[in-house]
């Protein structure tokens, strides 16, 4: 496919023609790039409101595929797991800047490595965006230790 045709196709893609709230459930779910970053524990400084990511993964995260092991039941199993489709748009800002939901909410395009753009679900891993191989197990770490696991590789 030549570049002109690819650009026309992407320009007509649902993520470029619909708002997040207009998307079907299937379209919404396909925006997840499988990076696993939203499944990392985060800490918020109560004085400044700054958010800090840790490399400590939710116990339901499959750290190889970077997908939830029990997506359908995650909210029942993990009390503070958020369903973004049911959350207010103010929730998008706690997501990493690379996240499709956050990018589209702020009027930015999907990144080149996003599976909907690249056509390959593996590009999120080869581009170094996913958490694959970089997480600690929450079942091995107490909540009091989370500050020791703050990371600075969350942005790309």
Q: Are 100 and 33 in contact (CB under 8 A)?
A: yes
Distance, CA of 56 to CA of 58 (rounded, Å) = 7
Give pLDDT, residue 3: 46
Give pLDDT, residue 10: 64
Number of domains within the chain: 1
First-to-last C-alpha distance (Å) of the chain: 28
Give me the count of residues in the chain. 156
Q: What is the DSSP letter of 53?
A: E
Whether 2 is in a domain gets the answer no
Whether 108 is in a domain gets the answer yes
- In the chain, count of helices (H) and strands (E)? 7, 5
- Per-block average pLDDT, block size 10, for the chain (156 residues)? 49 89 93 94 92 94 95 89 74 88 94 95 95 95 94 73
Which pTM does this prediction carry? 0.85
Whether 5 is in a domain gets the answer no
Choose among 148, 116, 141: nearest CA to 28: 116
Give pLDDT, residue 2: 47
Whether 46 is in a domain gets the answer yes
Q: H-helix or E-strand containing 57?
A: strand 51-57
Distance, CA of 107 to CA of 117 (rounded, Å) = 16
Whether 113 is in a domain gets the answer yes
Give pLDDT, residue 7: 47
Token duo for residue 104:
């589209």
Give pLDDT, residue 100: 95
Whether 99 is in a domain gets the answer yes
Distance, CA of 5 to CA of 128 (rounded, Å) = 28
Whether 16 is in a domain gets the answer no
Choose among 45, 40, 4: nearest CA to 129: 40
Question: Could you give the maximum distance between any two Cα atoms of the chain, in Å?
Answer: 54
Domain region containing 61: 21-149
Determine how many CB atoms are found less than 10 A away from the CB of residue 129.
23
Whether 15 is in a domain gets the answer no
Determine how many CB atoms are found less than 10 A away from the CB of residue 30.
15
């Amino acid at each position: 496919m030549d570049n002109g045709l690819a650009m026309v196709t992407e320009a007509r893609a649902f993520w470029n023609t619909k708002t997040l709230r207009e998307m079907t459930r299937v379209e919404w779910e396909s925006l997840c790039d499988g990076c696993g970053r939203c499944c990392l524990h985060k800490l918020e400084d109560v004085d400044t409101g700054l958010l800090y990511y840790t490399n400590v993964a939710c116990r339901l995260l499959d750290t190889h595929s970077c997908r939830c092991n029990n997506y359908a039941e995650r909210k029942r199993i993990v009390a503070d797991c958020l369903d973004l489709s049911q959350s207010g748009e103010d929730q998008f800002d706690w997501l990493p800047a690379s996240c499709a939901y956050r990018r589209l909410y702020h009027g930015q395009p999907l990144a080149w490595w996003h599976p909907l753009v690249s056509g390959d679900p593996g590009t999120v891993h080869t581009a170094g965006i996913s958490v694959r191989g970089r997480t600690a197990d929450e079942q091995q770490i107490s909540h009091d230790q989370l500050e020791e696991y703050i990371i600075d590789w969350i942005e790309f």
